[in-house]
Structure 1
């Protein structure tokens, strides 16, 4: 496959996976309820009300062989697709995208006669994308006070049209495709051809194309099949840990050097943890071992076909524990033999290939891991188990992320950068970014604890660290310690200057003298935001509506930095209300309550570009130095305050 096409399929697979994986818990719940309470389940006579044909199901129709299971049918028909659709919408456009994505999904659900997982994967992201485009049409043009009205009605109207479009347009199309694909699977099973799918699936796994196959095709078709028969073999085509386990066992016996030493740990992670990608570098070291994976996979599929085995719901990750948890009653023998058979065949083939290998040099596991990451397009979270602390996974890029990417993240990044550079890790790049603009290219992501879950959706392969205090968080020292443990290369040259702090002094237009108040009048955080915001409006830096966005930002996550400092600023969506970069400074004679923290200094921020970063870096330096903070308390004029901020080091 050409590189460009492979990368596009990988991205599609990752996107599909990111819609499904956060909702695997719901799939597991559905699978367990199915296993316990349907007519052919483990406890069919317990809680009979859950499957009362005269109840809810009788009002809307039967559910195939599920004998009117009152929870099973609604969960697979409504709950799971709507969760997937909402997740897809959220990935594109946060909460508003999730709402419209869910509304759009219910249209395809109601307009189809099969579970609409594929339809949800289409309508959810489509709803989020269209909502984002619609909001952009009148961004910055809504009169103050009408924002909520416009937001709610625009989402409702768009959701209505998408639900109708999904009902009449997408639903029937996806239903037809699902039936056609199901017929193709039936043909393969009836003609004993299903084991041949391993010829495509096993190489696809190593090339990281499996997500597109698994979550785009196998999971939707398998779920439809499970609804009709109570189980599906399709859930076992890609998740069987046997082929990978056999290869790792062969390395344990016939491998050499680092590959042999690391294989036992990798086998435990792969078999019990379900992280299959950990064995991919072992195949990439010896590409001919793909034959072992294919033959092992074919063996497992053949045994499952022979015994009529299947799972009730997807097993994710592909751990033996998750597989047994979803195994249908009557399939345990077949599933067990399939795993053992796949392991045995894969081991035998891999052992033969390794034992007869004439290569004299020890295989380079680190290089193979790097090649795997190149194929994957991002860092691997399990590679440290293969190459050790000093290998290819040293942390080289850190991003501090917040909602808007202009205030708290910039301040936190400045503080963390100083610590990182002081510790001698000058090659580690520390930046700041808004969560909405995050890309999954960073090694480590730092966020406020209330934002970490959102950041994980954007950067699933990164290490995440949550903080509460932006100025003095103990997690910063832990990060520096982690850099040392991870083998991050310390710079032999003096640390480079911070990009934000290269400019001399503070631009007059950024912090004007008139925007410095030495005796604020606010008595609480809300009034302080108004006071700092009015200074920005008066200075001509922002439109009046920006102040309301500062309050919205405060509702989501506190902008209290620590050391008596708060830096309120607008949301990411409010950047259109910023005319130019501006900063205001307010000092209070007595600290005001800022969500339970004492705020003595309030710095309002409106960042249109990067020209406010130098001042933020200097402010961070001041508030990390008790002597400088004391000078700010003692300052008698606005000029003194500006001078202190301008010379802070």
Structure 2
């Protein structure tokens, strides 16, 4: 029985792991491509201008001379810029340099293969050069990673005065071998891959099957898998096609058509209910003009049948483009209608009209199908619970990192302006109930005290331990659905960050409103009679004297470190866990528990603070309560946020929560955080942390 259960659990986790892996690859590709888009736009404008000049004049010398810049830009400059950006993302400027060198090797190798094939063939049968965008996206980061690993082999082993010599020659020698590897090793593989991909796309176009791509692309967008498809396949193929005689490519419009999101949100504006209807008009403007398509994803997740609407709309747009033979000169990034038009100018007025029809028809079809689905479910939606806030949280979880656009949607829908009952019990809930939620509760208690609110119990618990009688539950966005299952009658508020969430001010206002006479129902009593004072648990957490950390062993000088440089999230997790292991607080298994926690939801708290800790299932790995504090002056990329302070947590019972509550209050104040950043030694930093009070 246990074996079957384990296999089932593995089977459930694997798709999620695969999705997250594809998201990370796609996000990394996007990080390489997006900064280079201005260069693509410049190339497109230059091409469009010279094409139009060529139609107006013949033999104009300046135009003919300038035309010689078009091929080097698309063939050399753009791939090398992508490789440089990819290398920089892995290993700063040193990685950027070796990445650019490596890219040149795969470009030259590809050209050599094409030249050999074309030798002796008539011009009509010769192959075109392959633009090495995929090769650059592979070799740029790979070269930087190899450089980083090589530098690690002799780090700290070079005699003083020889560092620059070793750094220069090691990068140069590695660059030499990377050029050879790209020339003879990767170039044939990329050329073959591009040939296969072009054959597949050509088959779909020739047989009128390209609209079927929307069956894959539109659902992939909703789950943030589109970057891997778009930047890994469509963009390289589209650029290859646009650099030829066509001058444009339909592939750039497969994913970027803004009409799909516009049509869906217009349908919600007319036929939606609750928060979804209220937020849809503003979201439509963001999607259509701003090009931020992720804003419409929660509306689809709220009602998965709407996938039919976006697929139908996307396929309609592709069909229109295919029939009218229109496309873009380069990728429309972001997918705004403005960017679409700028990239369509080179095709003339006929191309602009065709592109316009593609987004109008895509919007119309999406609107029509979505309207039918919304009307069919309207009575049920009006009678049931508004699931929009939950859908926003699901979208944020699918993205895997914070998004200001999704947070804005949550802000608009998550916190009600008024409630019919007096709020007396507020619980912050997280997976383990031992770190994130404790700090959030401390911050909110301080805000309640500043607002003069009394009689409200503010505590923290694990989601699994929620009692079922809570008035208001606060969770991170990706955990709200689980909390709602435990507390179906409570008001649920989703936050992106426990430390500095803007929703706290709305919660304070909501609690204040609930204590107005109009909000108190018959038999509920007045606010003053509901509870005489802040709960004992809250009062003890706020009023208890600051513990002597050096004596308690929870935080000692050996557990405080300052690093002048940066670290990866994985390195920071490993260091936090090792400090706790060395202190005797946890076993070696605790590091994996920390990683499991991050895979569920980020422990970034806001204001530069991350507090990694294990999941609720990791209690057996904890032997004593302890904290580790590491300040990284170069910062840590914590799932898209920058953490300067990483405080590892291991807790037995509640004995670690007192100091955590004081750290929370400290990190909630920007001026206090600035002083912590300015501490010049571990001793000074420990003194500041030990002197925290609830001031």
Whether TM-score is above 0.5 comes out as yes
- How far, CA to CA, are the matches of 1:244 and 1:162 in structure 2? 43
- The equivalent of 1:30 in structure 2 is 43
Name the TM-score, length of structure 2 as normaliser.
0.59
Kindly state the Cα deviation for residue 91 of structure 1 after the two structures are TM-superposed. 1.2
- The equivalent of 1:300 in structure 2 is 317
* Residues 80, 136 of structure 2: 8 Å contact kept: yes
Asked whether 1:117 is paired with 2:133, we answer yes
- How far, CA to CA, are the matches of 2:326 and 2:17 in structure 1? 37
- The equivalent of 1:246 in structure 2 is 263
SS across alignment from 1:383 = helix
Kindly state the Cα deviation for residue 189 of structure 1 after the two structures are TM-superposed. 1.0
- How far, CA to CA, are the matches of 2:393 and 2:107 in structure 1? 42
2:684 pairs with 611, 615, 622, which one?
A: 615
- The equivalent of 1:17 in structure 2 is 30
Kindly state the Cα deviation for residue 497 of structure 1 after the two structures are TM-superposed. 10
Matches within 5 A, 1:333-372: 333-357=353-377, 358-359=379-380, 360-372=383-395
* Residues 291, 333 of structure 2: 8 Å contact kept: yes
Asked whether 1:192 is paired with 2:192, we answer no
- The equivalent of 1:285 in structure 2 is 302
Matches within 5 A, 1:556-635: 605=681, 612=682, 615-618=684-687
- How far, CA to CA, are the matches of 2:96 and 2:264 in structure 1? 42
- How far, CA to CA, are the matches of 2:409 and 2:53 in structure 1? 44
SS across alignment from 2:405 = coil
* Structure 1 range deviating more: 350-359 or 377-386: 377-386
* Residues 307, 334 of structure 1: 8 Å contact kept: yes
- How far, CA to CA, are the matches of 1:137 and 1:255 in structure 2? 60
Summarize the Cα distance change of 1:171–1:38 in structure 2 as closer, same or farther, 3 Å threshold: farther
Matches within 5 A, 1:146-545: 146-228=162-244, 229-327=246-344, 328-330=346-348, 331-357=351-377, 358-359=379-380, 360-388=383-411, 391=414, 484-485=504-505, 493=538, 494=541, 502-503=549-550
Kindly state the Cα deviation for residue 172 of structure 1 after the two structures are TM-superposed. 2.1
1:49 pairs with 43, 48, 62, which one?
A: 62
Kindly state the Cα deviation for residue 604 of structure 1 after the two structures are TM-superposed. 5.6
Kindly state the Cα deviation for residue 383 of structure 1 after the two structures are TM-superposed. 1.6
SS across alignment from 2:255 = coil
- The equivalent of 2:126 in structure 1 is none
Per-residue CA deviation, residues 128-152 of structure 1 (Å, 9 max, x unaligned), is 1000110011011011111111111
Summarize the Cα distance change of 1:501–1:38 in structure 2 as closer, same or farther, 3 Å threshold: farther
- The equivalent of 1:102 in structure 2 is 100
* Residues 42, 329 of structure 1: 8 Å contact kept: no
Q: Which of the two has greater helix per residue?
A: 2
* Residues 548, 690 of structure 2: 8 Å contact kept: no
SS across alignment from 1:618 = helix
* Residues 287, 295 of structure 2: 8 Å contact kept: yes
- How far, CA to CA, are the matches of 2:144 and 2:179 in structure 1? 13
* Residues 248, 330 of structure 2: 8 Å contact kept: yes
Kindly state the Cα deviation for residue 424 of structure 1 after the two structures are TM-superposed. 6.8
- How far, CA to CA, are the matches of 1:296 and 1:569 in structure 2? 48
Kindly state the Cα deviation for residue 69 of structure 1 after the two structures are TM-superposed. 2.2
Q: Once superposed, what is the RMSD of the aligned Cα atoms?
A: 4.1
* Residues 109, 116 of structure 1: 8 Å contact kept: yes
Kindly state the Cα deviation for residue 44 of structure 1 after the two structures are TM-superposed. 6.8
- The equivalent of 2:118 in structure 1 is none
* Residues 108, 166 of structure 1: 8 Å contact kept: yes
Summarize the Cα distance change of 1:173–1:70 in structure 2 as closer, same or farther, 3 Å threshold: same
* Residues 37, 47 of structure 1: 8 Å contact kept: no
* Residues 35, 42 of structure 1: 8 Å contact kept: no
- How far, CA to CA, are the matches of 1:570 and 1:355 in structure 2? 55
* Residues 82, 137 of structure 2: 8 Å contact kept: yes
- How far, CA to CA, are the matches of 1:495 and 1:51 in structure 2? 76
* Residues 79, 136 of structure 2: 8 Å contact kept: yes
- How far, CA to CA, are the matches of 1:216 and 1:277 in structure 2? 19
Summarize the Cα distance change of 1:49–1:165 in structure 2 as closer, same or farther, 3 Å threshold: farther
- How far, CA to CA, are the matches of 2:160 and 2:238 in structure 1? 50
- How far, CA to CA, are the matches of 1:233 and 1:371 in structure 2? 32
Kindly state the Cα deviation for residue 167 of structure 1 after the two structures are TM-superposed. 1.2
* Residues 424, 495 of structure 1: 8 Å contact kept: no
- How far, CA to CA, are the matches of 1:108 and 1:267 in structure 2? 43
- How far, CA to CA, are the matches of 1:20 and 1:28 in structure 2? 12
- How far, CA to CA, are the matches of 1:44 and 1:23 in structure 2? 32
Summarize the Cα distance change of 1:91–1:510 in structure 2 as closer, same or farther, 3 Å threshold: closer
* Structure 1 range deviating more: 489-498 or 214-223: 489-498
* Structure 1 range deviating more: 41-50 or 79-88: 41-50
Summarize the Cα distance change of 1:368–1:148 in structure 2 as closer, same or farther, 3 Å threshold: same
Per-residue CA deviation, residues 186-234 of structure 1 (Å, 9 max, x unaligned), is 1111111111111111111111110000000000000000001210000
SS across alignment from 1:220 = helix
- How far, CA to CA, are the matches of 2:360 and 2:224 in structure 1? 24
- How far, CA to CA, are the matches of 1:499 and 1:312 in structure 2? 64
Kindly state the Cα deviation for residue 340 of structure 1 after the two structures are TM-superposed. 0.4
Equivalences, count:
455
- How far, CA to CA, are the matches of 1:500 and 1:151 in structure 2? 48
* Residues 254, 318 of structure 2: 8 Å contact kept: yes
SS across alignment from 2:334 = coil
Q: Structure 1: where are the runs of 5+ without partners?
A: 53-67, 397-416, 429-441, 444-461, 465-478, 512-567, 574-601, 606-611, 625-646
Kindly state the Cα deviation for residue 381 of structure 1 after the two structures are TM-superposed. 2.2
Kindly state the Cα deviation for residue 498 of structure 1 after the two structures are TM-superposed. 13
* Residues 77, 115 of structure 1: 8 Å contact kept: yes
* Residues 242, 330 of structure 2: 8 Å contact kept: yes
* Residues 97, 127 of structure 1: 8 Å contact kept: yes
- How far, CA to CA, are the matches of 2:255 and 2:278 in structure 1? 27
SS across alignment from 2:398 = helix
Name the TM-score, length of structure 1 as normaliser.
0.62
